[in-house]
Chain A
Amino acid sequence: AQSVAQPEDQVNVAEGNPLTVKCTYSVSGNPYLFWYVQYPNRGLQFLLKYITGDNLVKGSYGFEAEFNKSQTSFHLKKPSALVSDSALYFCAVRDGDTGRRALTFGSGTRLQVQP
């Protein structure tokens, strides 16, 4: 079975400060990991992914994520938060080895950036 945990329902950060949104996963084989963002009344938008290679992945809008195999984590980070980053963030995983094609999402973390 594959699963994703986002331990924080909400993260609050002041504009200009660094932000981290946490994600841990569980899969049998090699993980394919994704981060998506959802703005109000919109579908999810792809931010970045880790498939293989460099553990630090850079994505859209200045976001990056670090893959840590020993801690089975894939935390989303940004050096300096903007008010416009306020949204709902989802981590997702697919097992790249078992052939299971479904993508499993976490429950989401709401990011609130205060001016």
Chain B
Amino acid sequence: EAQVTQNPRYLITVTGKKLTVTCSQNMNHEYMSWYRQDPGLGLRQIYYSMNVEVTDKGDVPEGYKVSRKEKRNFPLILESPSPNQTSLYFCASSFVQGGGYSNQPQHFGDGTRLSIL
């Protein structure tokens, strides 16, 4: 079954304790992305990756890191989490067309709810 898998689905942690949210897709997609969803703000893009070893900042990258060492995996790293990073996080993936642009729909994981105390 084609899917995007995020782990963990829920996490409560404390300020300053490094954490990693994993994301894996089995569709051989080139493009992967992380979003955070906050009430009234919709989804805002944190980072995205067009392919292995290629990552770029989205609209709200501060306080986050990512890596893309393998095509299927795109972990989100919070080196020193703070309460304002409490949110619902989504990973997504899609194919990329030859020109580098993508009009392909994205496939989303089921989300990770992070609470940072």
- Seen from chain A, the residues whose Cβ lies within 8 Å of a Cβ on chain B are 4, 6, 32, 34, 36, 41-46, 49, 51, 90, 92, 94, 96, 99, 101-108
* A-B CB pair tally, cutoff 8 Å: 64
Which range holds the interface residue count of chain B? 20 to 34
Q: How far, in whole Å, are A78 and B21 apart by their CA atoms in the complex?
A: 37
For the complex of A and B, list the 10 residue pairs with the smallest distance between their C-beta atoms, beginning with the closest.
A43-B108, A46-B105, A105-B43, A107-B42, A105-B42, A44-B108, A51-B103, A32-B103, A43-B110, A102-B45
Least Cβ distance of B20 to chain A in Å?
19
Q: Give the nearest-CB partner of B33 in chain A.
A: A103
Least Cβ distance of B88 to chain A in Å?
10
Residues of A with C-beta under 8 A to B92 = 43-44
Interchain CB contact under 8 A, B111 and A43: yes
A43 interface neighbour in B44, B90, B105, Cβ under 8 Å: B90
Q: How far, in whole Å, are A101 and B103 apart by their CA atoms in the complex?
A: 10
Interchain CB contact under 8 A, A90 and B59: no
A90 interface neighbour in B43, B56, B109, Cβ under 8 Å: B43
Interchain CB contact under 8 A, A41 and B110: yes
Residues of A with C-beta under 8 A to B4 = 43
Least Cβ distance of A78 to chain B in Å?
19
Residues of B with C-beta under 8 A to A4 = 42
Residues of B with C-beta under 8 A to A44 = 43, 90, 92, 106, 108
Least Cβ distance of B26 to chain A in Å?
15
Residues of A with C-beta under 8 A to B90 = 43-44
Q: Give the nearest-CB partner of A33 in chain B.
A: B103
Interchain CB contact under 8 A, A43 and B109: yes
A-B contact list, 13 entries, CB within 8 Å: A41-B110, A41-B111, A43-B109, A46-B106, A49-B105, A90-B43, A92-B43, A101-B48, A103-B33, A103-B45, A104-B45, A105-B43, A107-B41
Least Cβ distance of A30 to chain B in Å?
10
Q: How far, in whole Å, are A36 and B42 apart by their CA atoms in the complex?
A: 12
Q: Give the nearest-CB partner of B110 in chain A.
A: A43
